[in-house]
């Protein structure tokens, strides 16, 4: 049921993005790549996002969380198990914006998967703290804060993951870190759709 609801939201949001004045082919490719990641098809996501990076290597999503095409490409490479390419893409994202917490999180996970435990834990922790701070800032907005992580589910996952950064076995840290990354990306669409729905309902009541 949850997967069906996610697929419905993805379909609606894809229609909104692709039928509107998106502005560039890169934007379309990034959105298709995001949808492929959200629906469990990272191999297809690599193709879309690689195309987007060629079309516009400076592209960032036009949402409250402005993510680089390189961050999403790095995540896609990570999810297909191509850790060298994931690291290159994520380091590129961080060289353009050192304060990108999602890039830090996935770089940390990539390093952990590659066997670099010390650097991986450090980068993963930095990414988790950055995501937590970002969500706190978004949730404090007087106009749209209620739409961001309203149940604090993502921030609870972050606290769980941070409690594991010193444990010898990194497998659980990786699992929770991956969950945080997925949920944060989904939250971008969820918050926008929920806010748009409420605005529509208020307009309809006038």
* Per-residue pLDDT in tens (0 to 9) along the chain, 206 residues: 544 445 545 544 454 444 443 448 999 999 999 999 999 999 999 999 999 999 999 999 998 899 999 999 999 999 999 999 999 999 999 999 999 999 999 999 999 999 999 999 999 999 999 999 999 999 999 989 999 999 999 999 999 999 998 899 999 999 999 999 999 999 999 999 998 888 767 765 55
Euclidean distance between CA atoms 54 and 175, whole angstroms: 31
Q: Which distant-in-sequence residues (6+ apart) come within 8 Å of 148 by Cβ?
A: 64, 135, 138, 139, 141, 187, 191
In SS3 terms, the chain reads as: CHHHHHHHHHHHHHHHHHHCCCCCHHHHHHHHHHHHHHCCCHHHHHHHHHHHHHHCCCCECCCCCCCEHHHHHHHHHHHHCCHHHHHHHHHHHHHHCCCCHHHHHHHHHHHHHCCCHHHHHHHHHHHHHHHHHHHHHHHCCCCCHHHCCCCCHHHHHHHHHHCCCCCCCCHHHHHHHHHHHHHHHHHHHHHHHHHHHHHHHHHHHC
CA angle 12/15/17 to nearest 5° reads 110
Query: What is the residue whose two structure tokens read 């497998």?
Result: 171
pLDDT of residue 198: 82
Of 77, 141, 68, the C-alpha closest to 100 is 68
- What is the gyration radius of the CA atoms in the chain, in angstroms? 17
Domains (range + CATH), the chain: 25-140+147-165 (1.25.40.10)
pLDDT of residue 9: 54
Of 49, 24, 26, the C-alpha closest to 36 is 49
End-to-end distance of the chain based on CA atoms, in angstroms?
34
pLDDT of residue 97: 95
DSSP bridge partners of 177: none
CA of 172: how far to CAs of 9, 104, 119, 126, 127, in Å? 29, 18, 17, 17, 16
């Amino acid at each position: 049921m949850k997967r069906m609801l996610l697929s419905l939201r993805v379909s609606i949001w894809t229609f909104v993005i692709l039928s509107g004045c998106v502005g560039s082919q890169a934007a379309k490719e990034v959105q298709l790549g995001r949808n492929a990641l959200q629906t469990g098809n990272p191999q297809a996501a690599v193709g879309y996002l690689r195309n987007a990076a060629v079309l516009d290597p400076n592209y960032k999503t036009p949402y409250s969380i402005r993510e680089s095409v390189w961050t999403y490409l790095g995540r896609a490479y990570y999810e297909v198990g191509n850790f060298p390419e994931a690291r290159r893409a994520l380091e590129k994202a961080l060289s353009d914006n050192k304060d990108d917490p999602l890039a830090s999180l996935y770089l940390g996970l990539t390093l952990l998967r590659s066997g670099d435990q010390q650097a991986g834990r450090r980068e993963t922790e930095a990414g988790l703290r950055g995501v937590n701070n970002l969500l706190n800032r978004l949730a404090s907005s007087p106009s749209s804060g209620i739409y961001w992580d309203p149940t604090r589910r993502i921030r609870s996952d972050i606290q769980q993951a941070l409690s594991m950064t010193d444990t010898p076995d990194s497998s659980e840290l990786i699992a929770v870190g991956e969950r945080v990354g997925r949920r944060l990306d989904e939250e971008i669409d969820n918050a926008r759709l929920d806010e748009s729905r409420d605005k529509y309902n208020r307009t309809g009541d006038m």
